[in-house]
Structure formats: C-alpha cells, structure tokens
Structure 1
C-alpha cells in the first residue's frame, strides 16, 4: 500500500516545515485533512535489530493509516540507515533540526513511542507532554530493560510509572515486562502484550544478498544462519561510541563466552555432518563480526569448516532480511534476527541469558516455546542441538509452527492498530 501524494493540510498547519517538504506533492482539493503521527524510534545503527524496529512500525502505520502523515523522530539514522528507510518509505518525513521537532510537537496529533529495549524515548515523551495535552502511546517495549547483573535488573525510573499510566495505551513486547509494570503500580487503561515492531519489517536488498550468497556458493534453502554473542555486547570496541571499557562486564564475557557459544558451535557441527545444509555465520550487531570468527568459525573441525561461511563485515537490516528469506532457518544467541525470520516464514531458534533482559519471553508469548532455550539451564542447553536438527531435517513441520506464530502476531498487530486508530480519531 502506498501513501497518497498529499501534504497540503499538514503544510497549512506547519509553515516551519514547508522548506523541508517543498518537493512533496500536495493534497488534492476537497480531500479530508489528515492526521499526523510522530514516531519516536531509530535508537542506534550498529544493531540490525534496533534498526528494524523503525521500518517495522512504519510498515504497520502505512498499512493501517495510509492517509496519515508520519514524522520519524530518530536518535540515529546514519551509516546508510536513512537511505534504506527512505528507499522503502519515500513519503516519510524525518525530523532532524530542533526547529522541525518543535513544529512537529505543535502540529502532530499523536506521539507514538516505538518498539525499544526500554522506555528509550523518555525525554522526548516528556517534552511532548509538557508542550500539550495531546495523546500518546507506547508500542512494544521491554520494561525496565536493564542490561546488567542481577542486582541491576529491576532498576527503573520512578517517574516512568506516571508516564506509562497516562498513556492512551502501554503495550509491552514480552509478558514479563507487562507483569513488572503492573507490579510497580502502572495503571494504564490499556496495558497488554504487543509484538515487537520488527515483526512487520519488510525492507529488502535482494541484489546485495544474492551477490553475497552466490559468491560463497550458498544456494537458496540450503543453508542456515547462525549468530554468536557475549553476555554483554562489547560496545566499547566500537570507536564511534567513545566508551570506556567496562571491566566488570568484559571479565564476565570472557568467563562465559565458551559456555554460551560452545552449544551453538555443536549445533553447527551437527547440521553440517548430519544434513546437506551449509552454515552462514552472521552478526546482528557490529561487535559480533569478530565474535563469530573467534567463537564459532575458528574452533570448528576442518571437515566442518569447509561448509561454513563466516561473514567478515557488518550489514544493514535490508540485506539481512533478504538473506534470511533465502535460508532454511536461523539459530543463535540473539533476538531480532529470529523475529525477522518468523516474519518471513523462516524457522528460528532463540538462545538467551538473563543479561539480555526479558525480551526473549516473547518467543513463549507467540507460541514458540519449543524454540526458546535458556543458556543457564542445563536441560535447555541439551535441547539446542536436537531442536536445530529437527528444523534442518523436517522443514515442512518447522514452517507449520512458524505459520501459527505468524497468525498470532498478525492478529495482535491488527488489534493494536485498531486501538491506535480509535485513540487517534477520538474527539478531544
């Protein structure tokens, strides 16, 4: 579905944005004035999952609100992400300057906090509330979303209780977060589970994916993707973030890296030796490029290594989606690549640990408990290789499980978008 070539109603209300939108066709005479939604999203670009939240929610807004003007308020759309998003959503307006943001706050009808690892856009939400009495909603977050040691996991900003309570709706992307919000006293009138926005992502770069797969002799449907991870993503390794090394987290990573990645490596070996499938080791975030080589590829037996490809550079969400769509399945220690796979009809196993927050609970919430494994539970760890092999050897059965999960996700998307429509068009 495409946007109608129309913006005059919004331009009349928002003269400060005229220069920014001068190239966009205007509203035909006689058509109904449109609503305007601010989407607060796009948290960082070094993680294809964080990138995926935005085009996912944009796809839902495009499908359910084709007449609306959507304004994206990002934290970061650099490193080619803006170009990727605008290629898919050419009518989108990205707010960049303070003048544009101020004008958007005055003229928009609704503020939608997109899917995120926590209430990431708190400051901008507070700015919206301070400026007006206009409605806002939270769409698919983990809460509190603290990536830390056990003593840190229930830390939260007490002011969040009021922010979440006064929202038109507060949707959480996992049931654990929903229960936590209730426990601390959040009383939002609509407080429910909502699938992560990345379930709707449909950006693609088929050309890049096909070229890479051809270069590495990976045929469609004849390879599985694998993702490594440490307990804590070592963001301090990325120069652009300008972070000091967290010694406590780094030490824990070193302590647990073999414990966590060895079962994934064993699954790689089992797939290669027991099926005709190949393996492609890929990153979900930029730090996982070297982790994949160190923890998964280099230690493999030579007979296995011959049918394993290590992707030696980071990529963006569109190429990842086009690659996953051509795979036989995915397994590993991350969350959002599996989400993208399920959206594409591709089976995916999630292996998780407490330090990643409660987000993995959404696999249980959408009916994929059999593909969810806790790395700190020996019985779960023992089940990883059998589950991966079952997907590899019984693709029809695995895809039938995916279809059931897809149906549940799509139903919740429809229901939550219906609520947004009700709140957007409610009388003041």
Structure 2
C-alpha cells in the first residue's frame, strides 16, 4: 500500500510538472515569460521628458511616448520625470486621464547621484532603464550619464535632433544602448562624429504617436465659428526664434539679437501664409483657422497674418484668440482638411491621424524639418531660406485644398511608415530594457 501511495504521489507530481513545463514553453513561445511562468518579469522605465509647457508640441512628446510604451510594452511600469520645473495641473490631469497608472516624480539629480527629492531617488534606484524622450537635443544628457554611472543600468535616447550641446552630448551618446535620431541630418552628423552606440538609426519623433483628444472643447468651438468637417484648413505662424523671454515661467531677459531677426524676417516669412490663405478662400469653398502651437504665436497670428489679409478674405478666416492644449488642438486637426504653416509638431500630430500637413522651415529651426523628407513627404517641406522653394509654397498648399483626398492618401502612407518604424524601435527597446538578473 505504501509503495502504491508513493507511486501515485510521484506520478501526480510528474504530471503536474509536465503540465507546468508545457504551459511555460507555450508562454515562452508567445513572449509572455521571462523568470515567471506565463508572465514577463516586471520592468520599470524612467522616462525623462517634458522639456517645456508653453508649446503644445513639447507637451505632446510625453503622452506620445507613453502611448508607444502602453502599446508595445504593456506590462512595464513607467515613471515620468519632467525636465521643466513647472508642470501645470491641466497637463497632469490630461496625462492621468489617459494613463491612470502613470507615476510622476519631480526633482533634480546631482552629478554624484544625489536626487533632490526622496521620490526621485527611489525612482532612480528602482528603474531598470532610463529613457530619454524626443526633443530638440539630448537635453538631459547629464542625467542619462549619471543614471548609468550610479546604477550600472542602461539608457537610450529616442527620436532627438543632434547638435545642441556638442562634445558632452556626443560622449554621452556613445554610452547609450541606442541612439535614435528624428531626422537624417542628425543621423549623418552622429555617425560622422564617431558615436559608438551599438544601435544608431532614424526613428520618428514620439509625437507621431500622440492620440489624446478633447472633442468636448473642440466641437463646440468649431460649430460656433462655422468650421465644418473637412471644409477648413489650419494655418500656423511662427517667428524665426521663439521669444522665450515672453514665457512667464522662464523669467528670461529679452534677447535683442533674436528679437531683431524676428522683426527682420516677419514679413518675408508670413507673406506666403497670407497669399496661401487668400488663394484658398478665393478659389475653393474652404475656410481657414489661424491657430498657434506656442503661446507666443497667438498675437502674431492676428498682427502678422489676419490683420493684413484682404477685406474680401477676412470673413472666411477665424483667428484663434487664445492658447490651447494639445488634446483640443488634435480634435480640431482631425476635423480639418489639412494644415500648413511654419511649425513642426502640429504637422506631426496631423500626419499621425492621416491628416495632410505642409511645413515651412528655416535654418534657425535646426534640422528637425528634414524628417518630412525622411517619411516620404519631401514635396510638403519648404525651405524658407531658399526663394525658389518659397515660390512653390502657395501652389502646393492650394493643390492640397483642391484635392484633399489625394493629399490624405499621401498622409496616410507616411503615417503607416512612422508606425512601422516605431514598432521596430519599441521591439529593440523591449530587449535592452529587460530587468537585469540579480546576483
């Protein structure tokens, strides 16, 4: 009897072991297992982002990356560490509504690894990976380097333009698990300078994944101003240099050289916008909304664009007399037939939804505009420092307005490309951000 009980017990244990092993192998084949049966080991990603809050494009960087992580690394815990010292309640509410599990920590990190807040110190200690988000440069290069030095854990840089900080930035990038540049000009520079990261390539800006809307604000606004679905286009003005001295929370003195350059070029840069608006109003049934991406662009939309339009054109043009949040802006863009102007991230938000967008750029904007060529939209990119290209701006905008369906097909093709490249990049991120084995 005793032997029989032992036999049955051993048989049951063996069967259970086989069952567990079978489930484990099945889970592993599905990518659902690391150290635990049927479940990946948890990972904690520390997201350094939030470069400023006065521009809806900079705000959109963070939720864009969070959307990518949610889609491709759904098991990950993400902590958002804002770079900018000011984080408005409205932005926090927008993020928490879309990403209710998101953790936010604030503070600064000294070069010897001491955080200014206990919450930040804990986040750094528990993070498996430091992810530097898209932006005008590797803004937080020092934090990335310090994180790796004190924790021994990796970091990566996702969708930036290169060149703002020179030597320190270059040295830090060589220590990264990956360096993803958001434009081919930056990619070429990084390779020429000999950055030694094992994974260097072009990857679109994270804003291409931004998906938060606010129809509750946008739709009543559109109805109030007679802006019907696909019956209007959005126009965005911009100064050569963003007058950051007008940003309340930066408390900077005016830069007389940059201000003089803005004044020098304002007519040159905004005359094509007015001519495009005039052509659209006179030759199509579309209306125009003059919007803004940075809060300092609200006034120039009126002074440099709307006020100088012909009298017969003005009645079909709406000037947005306030700044708006990126979720409301995206809801409006989704209702439009397209966008044109001198900003960068609103066009990105449009392409992310399959909405056509034409971009004007200049030397003062860095090389970020060349991403339009990199995603197959070179015909919609115009260098305003080259008069031959400026002359083609109005005809191209008018062609978009006259054949919106063809333009949409082109935009959707670019969207598909960005989505594919993001998917591939996130697969690489998944590999390098896995928790390190202890001991």
- Whether the aligned pair in 1 keeps the contact of 2:128 and 2:435 (CA below 8 Å) is no
- Whether the aligned pair in 2 keeps the contact of 1:45 and 1:79 (CA below 8 Å) is no
| Residue among 331, 342, 352 paired with 2:340 | 331
Q: CA deviation at 1:75?
A: 2.2
**Is the aligned partner of 1:124 residue 2:157?**
no
**Is the aligned partner of 1:69 residue 2:77?**
yes
**Is the aligned partner of 1:111 residue 2:111?**
no
Match of 2:47 in 1: 39
Name the Cα RMSD after superposition.
1.6
Q: Secondary structure at the match of 1:285?
A: coil
Distance 1:75 1:210 in 2: 33
Q: Secondary structure at the match of 2:367?
A: coil
Distance 2:38 2:179 in 1: 36
Match of 2:182 in 1: 173
- Whether the aligned pair in 2 keeps the contact of 1:105 and 1:131 (CA below 8 Å) is no
Distance 2:435 2:250 in 1: 42
Q: CA deviation at 1:142?
A: 0.4
For residues 318-357 of structure 1, the aligned pairs below 5 Å read 318-357=327-366
Cα deviation 1:296-353 (Å, max 9, x = unaligned): 1000111100000000010111001101000000000010000000001100000000
Structure 1 stretches of 4+ moved >2 Å: 29-33, 425-428
Distance 2:308 2:136 in 1: 32
Cα deviation 1:32-74 (Å, max 9, x = unaligned): 5411101110111100000111110100000011111011011
**Is the aligned partner of 1:91 residue 2:110?**
no
For residues 140-219 of structure 1, the aligned pairs below 5 Å read 140-144=159-163, 146=164, 156-219=165-228
Q: Secondary structure at the match of 1:53?
A: helix
Distance 1:242 1:79 in 2: 20
**Is the aligned partner of 1:402 residue 2:411?**
yes
Cα deviation 1:188-233 (Å, max 9, x = unaligned): 1110000000000001111100111111111111110000011001
- Whether the aligned pair in 1 keeps the contact of 2:236 and 2:292 (CA below 8 Å) is yes
Match of 1:250 in 2: 259
Number of aligned residue pairs: give it. Answer: 391
- Whether the aligned pair in 2 keeps the contact of 1:260 and 1:375 (CA below 8 Å) is yes
- Whether the aligned pair in 1 keeps the contact of 2:42 and 2:435 (CA below 8 Å) is no
- Structure 1: gaps (5+ residues): 1-28, 147-155
Q: CA deviation at 1:127?
A: 2.6
Q: Secondary structure at the match of 1:303?
A: coil
Distance 2:202 2:218 in 1: 33
| Residue among 154, 161, 164 paired with 1:135 | 154
Q: Secondary structure at the match of 1:241?
A: coil
Cα deviation 1:173-196 (Å, max 9, x = unaligned): 000011111222212111000000
Q: Secondary structure at the match of 2:95?
A: helix
Distance 2:89 2:397 in 1: 34
**Is the aligned partner of 1:261 residue 2:270?**
yes
- Whether the aligned pair in 1 keeps the contact of 2:355 and 2:408 (CA below 8 Å) is yes
Q: CA deviation at 1:375?
A: 0.4
Using the size of structure 2 for normalisation, the TM-score is: 0.87
**Bigger radius of gyration among the two:** 2
**Is the aligned partner of 1:54 residue 2:62?**
yes
- Whether the aligned pair in 1 keeps the contact of 2:338 and 2:355 (CA below 8 Å) is yes
| Residue among 371, 381, 390 paired with 2:380 | 371
Q: CA deviation at 1:159?
A: 2.0
Q: Which moved more, 1:116-125 or 1:286-295?
A: 116-125
Distance 2:39 2:309 in 1: 63
**Is the aligned partner of 1:81 residue 2:91?**
yes
Match of 2:32 in 1: none
